[in-house]
């Protein structure tokens, strides 16, 4: 994938925070989905929200997607888009998973059943039966639960509970005979936040402040820096889901849902230079619009997804309830070779 660095434009964007510029976003290349999930069960409402991907290394085509119906609970989907199971767990907003070895595939979801007290619901993914096994619930902070991401570290599994008011609570989860958590630290962002992702290489944490931009925190630090702003060029509010594609020691890409113009913004790591934009257009399956959560996983997922899988929530799914679109990452890489279009240089 070609990296396009727009230093002057980025510098302008990072200093233009006083007023909101008009939306005249940079062009985006288009790709089409290779699959989609069946719609979530909650119809006529903003319900589907966030996906997480488990890759079956022994049989990649049998990998699974865990995703939220934030009005009802959690689905487990196959790559064919069919629901393998559903767990009625109430108001769960965001979800993430991690392979914890002997402890299994651990799934954690942000629980907003009590708007005054966030919680983290924890599950084990039974990969053979494609079902979630509840392990319990631990506190997620004071306020409404919203975003959630995980980081597998040397000392165990870290969970980041992103509250709607911008508070981000970090916990260390204990996955022994009894589920428990230890509060580690608090980060504070000024306004509404949701999407987050941690770099698996060093624990660097990225958090989306919906109407401001993307913050970056070094592992264990509570002092962050705004590394990408809402400039209405590369990134258009709301900033929603975040995903990461690590390459080498510190390279790769961060991907953000640029919800305001139905696009996805790529940033080169580690410098966070704008590296491209793409949209999911209608093809065999529909386009995506108003995307909330996204997820990106590397490796082969079978012949339809030979170089990685990108999953995006679709906020407007025609006459049906919301669902999730599945995109081959190789399609994105190929399309990005022509970004930006020669006639529309940013």
pLDDT in tens, 263-284: 999 999 999 999 999 999 999 9
d(CA 68, CA 90): 10
* CA distances (Å), origin 52, targets 16, 133, 142, 166, 303: 34, 16, 25, 22, 20
* CA distances (Å), origin 194, targets 113, 160, 292, 337: 16, 11, 9, 31
Strands 145-153 and 92-99: unpaired
d(CA 224, CA 249): 21
Residue with tokens 């590394």: 227
Residues comprising the chain, all counted: 346
Domains of the chain plus CATH, in order, are 7-339 (2.120.10.30)
d(CA 49, CA 42): 12
pLDDT at 12: 37
* CA distances (Å), origin 337, targets 3, 170, 245, 342: 9, 38, 17, 11
Could you please report the per-residue DSSP string of 294-333? EEEE-S--STTSTT-EEEEEES--TTSPPEEEEEEHHHHH
Strands 29-32 and 273-281: parallel
**pTM for this structure?**
0.92
What are residue 208's DSSP bridge partners?
214
pLDDT at 127: 98
Q: Could you give the percent of the chain with pLDDT greater than 70? A: 92
- CA nearest to 97, candidates 50, 42, 59: 50
Check whether 92 has a pLDDT greater than 80. yes
pLDDT in tens, 108-166: 999 999 999 999 999 999 999 999 999 999 999 999 999 999 999 999 999 999 999 99
């Amino acid at each position: 994938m070609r990296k396009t660095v727009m230093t002057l434009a980025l510098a302008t964007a990072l200093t233009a925070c006083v007023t909101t510029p008009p939306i005249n976003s940079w062009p985006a290349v288009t790709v089409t989905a290779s699959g989609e999930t069946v719609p979530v069960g909650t119809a006529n409402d903003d319900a589907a929200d966030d996906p997480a991907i488990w890759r079956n290394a022994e049989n990649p085509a049998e990998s699974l997607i865990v995703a939220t119906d934030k009005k009802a609970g959690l689905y487990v989907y196959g790559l064919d888009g069919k629901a393998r199971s559903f767990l009625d767990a109430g108001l769960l907003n965001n979800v993430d998973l991690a392979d914890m070895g002997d402890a299994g595939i651990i799934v954690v979801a942000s629980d907003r059943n009590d708007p005054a007290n966030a919680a983290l619901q924890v599950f084990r993914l039974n990969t053979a039966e494609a079902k979630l096994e509840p392990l319990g619930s631990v506190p997620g902070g004071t306020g409404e639960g919203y975003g959630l991401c995980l980081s597998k570290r040397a000392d165990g599994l870290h969970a980041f509970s992103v509250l709607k008011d911008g508070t981000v609570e970090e916990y260390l989860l204990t996955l022994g005979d009894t589920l428990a958590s230890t509060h580690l630290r608090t980060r504070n962002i000024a306004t509404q936040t949701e999407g987050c992702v941690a770099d698996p290489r060093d624990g660097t944490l990225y958090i989306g402040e919906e109407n401001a931009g993307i913050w970056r925190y070094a592992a264990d630090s509570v002092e962050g820096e705004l590394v990408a702003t809402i400039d209405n060029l590369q990134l258009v509010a709301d900033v929603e889901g975040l995903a990461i594609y690590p390459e080498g020691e510190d390279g790769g890409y961060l991907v953000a849902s640029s919800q305001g113009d139905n696009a996805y913004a790529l940033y080169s790591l580690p410098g966070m230079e704008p590296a491209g934009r793409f949209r999911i257009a209608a093809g065999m399956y529909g386009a995506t619009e108003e995307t909330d959560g996204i997820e990106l996983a590397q490796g082969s997922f079978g012949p339809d997804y030979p170089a990685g899988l990108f999953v995006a929530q679709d906020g407007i799914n025609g006459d049906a309830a919301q669902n999730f679109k599945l995109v081959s990452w190789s399609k994105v890489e190929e399309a990005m070779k022509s970004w930006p279009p020669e006639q529309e240089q940013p």
